[in-house]
Amino acid sequence: MNKLRIYKGADYNDMSRKAAAVIQAQLTVKPESVLGLATGSSPVGLYDVLAKMYKDGEVDFSCAKTVNLDEYLGLSPDNDQSYRYFMQKNLFSRVNIDIANTYVPNGLAADPDEECARYDDIIEKLGGVDLQLIGIGVNGHIGFNEPADSFPVKTHVEALAEKTINVNKRFFKSVDDVPRKAFTMGIGAIMSAPVVLLIASGKEKAQALKEAFFGPVTPHFPASVLQFHRNVILAADKEALSLFPDR
- Active-site residues: which are they? 70, 139, 141, 146
CB of 143 closer than 8 Å to CB of 184: yes
**55 or 180: whose CB is closer to ligand F6R?**
180
Q: Based on the shown chain and the rule CB under 6 A, indicate whether residue 197 belongs to the binding site for ligand F6R.
A: no
Concatenated DSSP letters for 128-150? Answer: S-SEEEE---TT--BTTB-S-SS
- For the bound state, the minimum distance from the C-beta of residue 57 to ligand F6R, rounded and expressed in Å, comes to 28
Of positions 15, 22, 142, 196, contacts ligand F6R by CB under 6 A: 142
* Distance from C-alpha of 173 to C-alpha of 192, rounded to nearest angstrom: 37
CB of 14 closer than 8 Å to CB of 59: no
Q: Which phi-psi region, left, alpha or beta, contains residue 140 (left: φ > 0; alpha: ψ -120 to 50)?
A: left
Alpha-carbon distances of 9 from 14, 51, 138, 198, 235, rounded to whole Å = 5, 20, 20, 13, 7
Of positions 141, 155, 179, 229, contacts ligand F6R by CB under 6 A: 141
- For the bound state, the minimum distance from the C-beta of residue 78 to ligand F6R, rounded and expressed in Å, comes to 18
**58 or 151: whose CB is closer to ligand F6R?**
151
Give the per-residue contact string, 120-139, with ligand F6R (x = CB under 6 A; - = no): ---------------xxx--
Q: Based on the shown chain and the rule CB under 6 A, indicate whether residue 40 belongs to the binding site for ligand F6R.
A: yes
Q: Based on the shown chain and the rule CB under 6 A, indicate whether residue 42 belongs to the binding site for ligand F6R.
A: yes
* Distance from C-alpha of 89 to C-alpha of 40, rounded to nearest angstrom: 13
**21 or 200: whose CB is closer to ligand F6R?**
200
**26 or 184: whose CB is closer to ligand F6R?**
184
Of positions 61, 70, 160, 234, contacts ligand F6R by CB under 6 A: 70
3-state secondary structure of 48: helix
Point out the residue whose Cβ comes nearest to ligand F6R: 135
**71 or 130: whose CB is closer to ligand F6R?**
71
Going by DSSP bridges, is the β-strand pair 70-72/181-184 parallel, antiparallel, or unpaired?
Answer: antiparallel
Count of residues near ligand F6R by CB under 6 A: 14
Cβ atoms within 10 Å, residue 201: 25
* Distance from C-alpha of 13 to C-alpha of 144, rounded to nearest angstrom: 25
Give the per-residue contact string, 146-165, with ligand F6R (x = CB under 6 A; - = no): --------------------
Of positions 22, 27, 38, 46, contacts ligand F6R by CB under 6 A: 38
Q: Based on the shown chain and the rule CB under 6 A, indicate whether residue 105 belongs to the binding site for ligand F6R.
A: no
* Distance from C-alpha of 243 to C-alpha of 19, rounded to nearest angstrom: 20
Interacting residues toward ligand F6R by CB under 6 A: 38-42, 69-70, 135-137, 141-144
